[in-house]
Chains A and B, each alone.
Chain A
Amino acid sequence: MLRATFKSLLSRKARLLLSTIAVVLGVAFVTGSLVLNSSLGKSIESMFTTVFDDVDVQVTAERDDSLFASATPIPADVVERVAGVDGVSEATGLVSEGTGKLRVVGKNGKAIPNFGAPVIGQNFTGFEDPMELKEGTEPQADDEVAVSASLVATTGYELGDTLPLLTDGPEAREFEIVGVFGYSGGRDSVAGEQTILFTLEAARANLMTVPDAYTLIDVTAESGTDDSQLRDDIADLLGSGYVVQTGEDLAAEQTEAFQPFLDVFNYLLLGFGAVALIVSVFLIVNTFSIIVAQRTRELALFRALGAGRGQVTGAVLLEALIVGLLSAVVGLLLGIGVGYLGTVALGSSMGTDMEATLVVPWQTILAALLIGVGVTMLAALIPAVGASRIPPMAALREAANTIKPVRWFAIIGGILLALGAVALFLGLTERVGDGDDSLLLVLAGVGLLFIGLAVVIPAIAKPLVSLIGAVLSWSMPGKLGRRNSSRNPRRTAITASALMIGITLVTAVGVVLSSANASIQKFFAESVSADVMIAGVGTLNDSYNVEILDEVREMPEVSQAAAAYIDQAEFVEPGTNDEAAVLVEATDDVTAYTELLGITVSEGDLSDLDRNGLVVYKGWAEQHRVTVGDTVDLRFSAAESAAPLTVVAVVESSIGGEVMVSDDHVDRFGQPDPMQAYITLEDGADKPQVIERINQLLAENPAVTAADIGVLNDQLTVTFDAVLLVVQVLLSLAIFIAVIGVVNTLTLSVLERTRELGLLRAVGMTRGQVTAMVMVESVVISVFGAVLGLAAGAGLGIVVQQALSDDFLEVLVMPWGTMVFYLVAAVVIGVLASLIPAFRANRLNVLSAISHD
């Protein structure tokens, strides 16, 4: 039996290859995700280890929680106290800032957005190893800086140039670049960061606001001193209010900060890997079913010669085991390669000089084996059991390709569909209750509908396929291809289902995204009447001079303008002692602001908003049980103590906010300048021209730009398009596997129909016509899959939209364009998938096909 299995495997190399490809790709995707995740984690860790290599111990003051808070200053005398600790060789007070508040203004006059490695500002303490001065000298005057070579490379400013920097406040300050430095080994930076070195005074003036203080203390240990011991000693000395960390601690902290991102990334990839694997299961089930069907005689002969049922099942499963093992190994190797390349690509796209390290956790190898072998064996189980049912008599019968009844599929699928519909109905209608439960029900319903659909498809395959084929059967080859595709409904159904899965998911995502897009546009159109918006790229120190808004208001084309100040304040939850954060807004023109943003008053009076007043948004008011007349204590980011404010009004807005205060408070905001502005124009104003002029007024405010409010929409649309693209790319693997399924099914079918092909060729069918026949069958199958996927995906998308229609998916919009594209793509896929089987069909010898010995 063993020998027979091996022989049968080797004699059908093409078949072996086809059935392994699906598993290989599935395994590669999963192991690739795991390897990528571990390698990326390890690479990030070693990058930070390099960064903090020279740090023995570092002291910082405990930070305020608020997003807008700046680093807590460390008084100068603390440095001396630290220097006195046993084991400290040197304690240097440093002024350092790397949280994104320091930005370089580019040559176009606007702040350079910085999403990768940070821009670090620091006081100059000497070019010590591993730093190396490359050109110029050290900064001596307070308007002089030395910059890292990486900054020169990124921004284009060079030695001797004036470097405009956005440090504190809305306007840029100018410095002269007097020195450019690098690091040992010819490096431009340690890990991609851009560093700017100031004199101590300049650093204090620009990076913090307190004189005679530092933001951190860099401690060098005496040789032979244990870093963690020293850390604990210093911590004991300083007591609470300070954070003392070794270089290792810092590296770990920074690495950990990346973990949530890595996790999300990993789950995402694994999710798509799972989809790819599910599709592979369809493919393997189909391949093995066809193989068993074609080997009916061979297997029946085994049985006739005395092989037991178990032996026949065993033979098929053994074949699956071999295919699974082979695929697991190849998939693992491929996955490791993909994971490594992914690490390299992501490292460089993050804008850091990260060196990619390859890590293959043993779990990956285990996963590859489990998935590869497990999935293949499981998928082969049904065909294997089917094989054991072949009666020995079948060996004597003529090609016993009896088609199994599809009635059972209809019944089971129908039950599953009904259950899914019920779950879905309950989930959707009971939404008023617990949101989590109903969402879970919706998801379960969707899952059941999905499985039900997959099961019921064989039953509906025949009529549906005939219908699709009717379009293509204008010629005899077309007619034959169409009939062939509905010959074995189960085979066609499984092949098409594999394609359906991928198309369902991309369609569903497409429906949700296009609905989200339309809903947001509708929301903007209804609630926001502003025409123009002033805003930055979204960092915390985006700001502009509020006086500019007065000049804007004076422009004849402008009807209204309102500034938006933003802070994160702390308040004590009424009735408890718990401190919580609250988002605070303020504006210089409450009337214009509420009008432009579609804010309506539901209780109280906005005109009562004075220095002691507070306006709360309805959602926040309900959540914290406050109402007009109540008092709330708020402490703004830059305030020493809390101010008691009385609620004067409760307002409603679809944009959603938390609280609003009078603009009397803005000088105690972490960002005392306005961050945004909303502007409406008079009817008939030349919008682009007005925007152009506002931007001229903002010339000295590099952090912000004025733009058509529609641009916001476009930005969202771009984001949605990007999400859709990522989903499409990741699911294209699942679709690719499904295409292999089509190729595989057709190739095997063609081999099964050798005699028919011979007959057709004998009676005068040309090779072109044979190709057309196979192509029609292929296109019918893939269009069938696409139609199912489009229908299921549209259904799924509509369900999600309905379920979330109260939240943010108010409008349903079908992405007709993309759906038509998928349908056309299915035709192309069908044509491409038919090339190999058609080639095989044409290569068949007419004679061997019809000879009867």
Chain B
Amino acid sequence: MTTAVSTDRGEAAARATDVWKVYGSGEAQVIALRGVTAEFTKGRFTAIMGPSGSGKSTLMHCLAGLDYTDRGEIHIGDNLVTGLSDKGLTLLRREKVGFIFQQFNLMPTLTAEENILLPLSIGKRKPDRAWFDQVVDTVGLRDRLSHKPTELSGGQQQRVACARALVQRPDVIFADEPTGNLDSKSGTEVLKFLRRSVDDFGQTIVMVTHDPVAASYADRVLFLADGQVVDEMFDPTADRVLDELKRFDEIVGSAQGEERR
């Protein structure tokens, strides 16, 4: 199988070139990524989909400087991520990258406002007050700013996480199944918010998801299977994504069958 090279118009906010990632060694060796090459254009919303264990999270972690690659190169904007020291990666994450995880996004000891400003205060940067207000109003958290995470609902917590990612104006926001733990109403709110931040503020977002409906909010969907990019789709709808996934299960199924033989 050949690796699908994804192309898009415009400047790349993040770029993976022939990225390999291997876990473990010998018998227990798992190749999580097999030469992935992908570009994420500025101001676009990309969803990454694929079966469980296909390497979605691994790819995202490598892109975000949370993990080292074994081969290949990662760029965030013009910065070469590959080869950076721990310190360099830390600074990169602090200044160029925003995160939204599936759960446990917030520090329990900090208020919503302190959580939103966390990356800025870690870096001793002054928040842009007008921008902060705009973000807070967009996610609708104005009256919850002094609350601790335990006093917020799951959806509110994820919105705080979104606000945190956005307020530092990163080159790119990585979201790993941000709606995975939410009911559909809260999930929709978060997705709408992500969409708006791309449309209104020109934010670049890369989101891993299982959910075809969530993927339909994106501009483009990358399909991963067995550590490789196998397909992509522009302007996805939930139905088209679902069809694609079904097709995919068949391919993967037969591929595994072949391997067994």
A: residues with CB less than 8 A from B are 475-477, 480, 483-484, 487, 755-756, 759-767, 769, 846-847, 850-852
Would you mind naming 12 contact pairs between A and B with Cβ atoms under 8 Å apart? A755-B104, A760-B122, A762-B66, A762-B101, A763-B122, A764-B93, A764-B94, A766-B87, A846-B66, A850-B66, A852-B101, A852-B103
Taken together as a complex, chains A and B put the C-alpha atoms of A836 and B66 apart, in Å, by: 24
Min CB gap A182→B, angstroms: 70
Query: CB distance B86 to A476 under 8 Å?
Result: no
B110 interface residue, CB < 8 Å from A? Answer: yes
Which residues of B in the span 51-106 have a Cβ within 8 Å of any Cβ on A? 57, 61, 66-67, 86-87, 90-91, 93-95, 99, 101-106
In the assembled complex, the Cα of A564 lies from the Cα of B86 at a distance in Å of 80
CB of A763 within 8 A of CB of B93, answer yes
Do residues B91 and A764 form an inter-chain contact, with CB atoms below 8 A? yes
CB neighbours (8 Å) of A765 from chain B are 90, 94, 122
Q: A759-B106, A760-B118, A765-B122 are in contact. List 20 more A-B contacts (CB 8 A).
A: A476-B118, A476-B121, A476-B124, A480-B110, A487-B109, A755-B104, A760-B107, A760-B122, A762-B101, A763-B118, A763-B164, A764-B90, A764-B91, A767-B90, A769-B122, A847-B61, A847-B66, A847-B67, A851-B57, A852-B101
Instruction: Please state if A476 and B122 are interface contacts (CB–CB under 8 Å).
Output: yes
Considering the chains assembled together, what is the distance between the CA atoms of A850 and B109 in angstroms?
17
Q: Are B87 and A763 in contact (CB under 8 A)?
A: no
Q: How far is the CA of A762 from the CA of B94 in the complex (A)?
A: 8
**CB under 8 Å from chain A, chain B span 121-160:** 121-124
Which residue of chain B has its CB nearest to the CB of A482? B109
Interface flag for B108 (CB, 8 Å): yes
Asked whether, in the complex, the Cβ of A761 is within 8 Å of the Cβ of B90, the reply is yes
B residues less than 8 Å from A852 (CB atoms) = 101-104
Residue of B nearest to A480 (CB): B109
How far apart are the CA atoms of A794 and B106 in the complex, in Å?
43
Asked if B212 is an interface residue, CB under 8 A from chain A, the answer is no
A851 cross-chain contacts in B, Cβ below 8 A: 57
For chain B, the bracket of interface size reads 20 to 34
A447 CB to nearest chain B CB (Å): 37
The reply on B119 being an interface residue by CB < 8 A is yes
Cβ of A81 to closest chain B Cβ, rounded Å: 94
User: Are B105 and A759 closer than 8 Å at their CB atoms?
Assistant: yes
- How far is the CB of A71 from the nearest CB of chain B, in Å? 79
**B104 engages A759 (CB within 8 Å):** yes
Q: How far apart sit A325 and B105, CA to CA, in the bound complex (Å)?
A: 43
Give Cα distance in the complex from A847 to B21, angstroms. 14
User: Bound state CA distance, A755 and B61, in angstroms?
Assistant: 16
Give CA–CA (A759, B122) in the complex, Å. Answer: 12
Is B123 a contact of A850 with CB atoms below 8 Å? no
- B90 — which chain A residues lie within 8 A by C-beta? 761, 764-767
- A480, B107: Cβ atoms closer than 8 Å: yes
Contacts of A764 in B (CB 8 A): 90-91, 93-95, 119, 122-123
Instruction: Choose among A480, A484, A762 the residue that contacts B99 (Cβ–Cβ < 8 A).
Output: A762
A769–B121 alpha-carbon span in the complex (Å)? 12
Contacts of A483 in B (CB 8 A): 109-110
Residues of B within 8 A of A767 (CB): 86-87, 90
A846 to B87, CA, bound (A): 13
Q: Which residue of B lies closest to A401 (CB)?
A: B108
Instruction: Contact check, A763 vs B94: say whether CB atoms are below 8 A apart.
Output: yes
A769: chain B residues at CB < 8 Å are 122
Query: Shortest distance in angstroms between B178's beta carbon and chain A's nearest beta carbon?
Result: 12
The chain A residue with its CB closest to the CB of B102 is A852
**Residues on the A chain within 8 Å of B123, using CB:** 764
Question: For B102, what are the chain A residues with a Cβ–Cβ distance below 8 Å?
Answer: 852
In the bound complex, what is the Cα–Cα distance between A236 and B183 (angstroms)? 108
Task: Point out the residues of chain B lying under 8 angstroms from A487, CB to CB.
Answer: 109
Chain B residues with CB under 8 A of A477: 122
A761 to B119 Cα, complex, angstroms: 10
Q: Given the known A-B contacts A762-B66, A763-B99, A764-B93, are A850 and B107 also in contact in the complex, defined by CB atoms under 8 Å? A: no
Q: Mark B218-242, 1 if CB is under 8 A from A, else 0.
A: 0000000000000000000000000
Minimum Cβ distance to chain A for residue B179 (Å): 13
Query: How far apart are the CA atoms of A846 and B119 in the complex, in Å?
Result: 16
- A-side contacts of B121, CB under 8 Å: 475-476
CB proximity of B188 to chain A, nearest CB, Å? 21
Chain A min CB distance to B35 (Å): 21
Chain B residues positioned under 8 Å from A763 (CB to CB): 93-94, 99, 118-119, 122, 164
Residue in A755, A763, A769 whose Cβ sees the most chain B Cβ within 10 Å: A763
Which 4 pairs show the lowest CB-CB distances between chains A and B?
Answer: A764-B94, A483-B109, A476-B121, A764-B93
Which residues on the A side are within 8 Å of B105 (C-beta)? 759
Alpha-carbon gap, A518 to B105, bound state (A) = 60
Q: Given the complex, which residues of B lie within 8 Å of A476, measured CB to CB? A: 118, 121-122, 124
Cβ contacts under 8 Å, B67 to chain A: 847
Task: Tell me how far the C-beta of B108 lies from the nearest C-beta in chain A, rounded to whole angstroms.
Answer: 7
Residue numbers in B under 8 Å from A766 (CB-CB): 87, 90-91
Question: What separation, in Å, do the CA atoms of A480 and B110 have in the docked complex?
Answer: 8
C-alpha spacing A476/B105, complex, angstroms = 17
The interface residues of chain B lying within 8 Å CB-to-CB of A761 are 90
Instruction: Output the least CB separation between B124 and chain A (Å).
Output: 7
Contact flags B5-49 to A (C-beta < 8 A → 1, else 0): 000000000000000000000000000000000000000000000
Q: What separation, in Å, do the CA atoms of A35 and B118 have in the docked complex?
A: 57
Q: Provide the bound-state CA to CA distance between A298 and B98, in Å.
A: 35
Residues of B within 8 A of A480 (CB): 107, 109-110
CB neighbours (8 Å) of B101 from chain A are 759, 762, 850, 852
Partner of A756 from B87, B107, B124 at Cβ < 8 Å: B107
Distance between Cα atoms of A755 and B123 in the complex (Å): 20
Question: Which among A759, A762, A765 has the highest number of chain B CB atoms within 10 Å?
Answer: A762
CA distance A499 to B94 in the complex (A): 38
Docked CA distance A763–B92 (Å): 9
Measured CB to CB, the nearest residue on chain B to A768 is B87
Chain A residue with the shortest CB-CB distance to B103: A852
Chain A residues near B119 (CB, 8 Å)?
A: 763-764
Bound-state Cα–Cα, A760 to B118, Å: 9
Tell me which residues across on chain A come within 8 A of B106, comparing CB atoms. Answer: 759
A residues in contact with B87, CB < 8 Å: 766-767
Contact A756 B108 (CB under 8 A): yes
Query: Shortest CB–CB separation between residue A775 and chain B, in angstroms?
Result: 16
Q: How far is the CA of A850 from the CA of B64 in the complex (A)?
A: 13
Hey, which chain B residues are within 8 Å of A760, CB to CB? 107, 118, 122
Please give, as numbers and ranges, the residues of chain B lying within 8 Å of A850 by CB-CB distance. Answer: 66, 101, 104
A759 engages B107 (CB within 8 Å): yes
Closest Cβ–Cβ distance, residue A602 to chain B (whole Å): 71
Residues in chain B near residue A475, CB distance under 8 A: 121, 124
Task: Give Cα A767 to B104, complex, Å.
Answer: 20
Instruction: Tell me how far the C-beta of A469 lies from the nearest C-beta in chain B, rounded to whole angstroms.
Output: 12
CA distance A847 to B23 in the complex (A): 13
CA distance A789 to B141 in the complex (A): 45
Chain A residues near B99: list those with CB within 8 A. 762-763
A497 to B99, CA, bound (A): 40
Cβ–Cβ < 8 Å partners of B104 in chain A:
755, 759, 850, 852
On chain B, the residues within 8 Å of A847 by CB distance are 61, 66-67
Distance in angstroms between the alpha carbons of A214 and B102 in the assembled complex? 101
For the complex formed, measure the closest distance between the CB of A698 and the CB atoms of chain B, giving whole angstroms: 73
With the chains together, A769 CA to B87 CA distance in Å?
Answer: 11
In the assembly, what is the distance between CA of A852 and CA of B210, in Å?
15
Kindly report which residue of chain B lies nearest to residue A846, judged by CB atoms: B66
